[in-house]
Chains A and B, each alone.
Chain A
Amino acid sequence: MKRRTNRIGKMGFSLALGAVCVFVSLAVAVPSQGENILDKIEKTGKVAMAFREGSVPFGYMNEKGEWVGFGLDLGCEIVNALSAKFQKEISLEKIPMIPQTRIPLVANGTVDIGIGSTTITLAREEVVDFSLPYFLTGTRLLVPKGSPIRDFPDLAGKRVGMGSGSTANIKGIDSAMESGLIKPACEKVLFEEHNKGFLALQQGKIHAYFTDASMLVGMVAKAQKPDDWEIVGRYLTYEPYGIILPENQGEWRDFVNAALIGMIKSGRFEEIYEKWFGPKGEVPMPMSTEYKTLLKALSYPD
Chain B
Amino acid sequence: MLDVLTGFVGELRAAGLPVSMTEAVDAAEAVHHIPLEDRDALKYALAATLVKSSAHWKAFETAFEIYFALRTPHHGADEEGRADGEAEDAGEEQGEQPTGPGTGRGRGGGAGEAMSAEELAEMLFRALLSANDAQVAALARQAVTRYAGMEPGRPVGGTYYLYRTLRNLDLDGMLRRLLETARREAGGNLTALEERLARDEFQVRLDKLRRELEDEIRRRLVADRGSEALARSVRKPLPEDVDFMHATREELTALRRAIHPLTRKLAVRLARKRRHGRKGPLDFRSTVRHSLSTGGVPVDPKFRYPRPAKPEIFVVADISGSVASFARFTLHLVYAISSQFSKVRSFVFIDGIDEVTRFFEGVDDVAEALHRINTEADVVWVDGHSDYGHAFNVFWERWAEEITPRTSILLLGDARNNYHASQAWVVQEMRHRARHVYWLNPEPRAYWGTGDSILGEYAVHCDAVYECRNLRQLELFVSELA
Mutual binders A and B: no
Q: B residues near A, CB below 8 A?
A: none
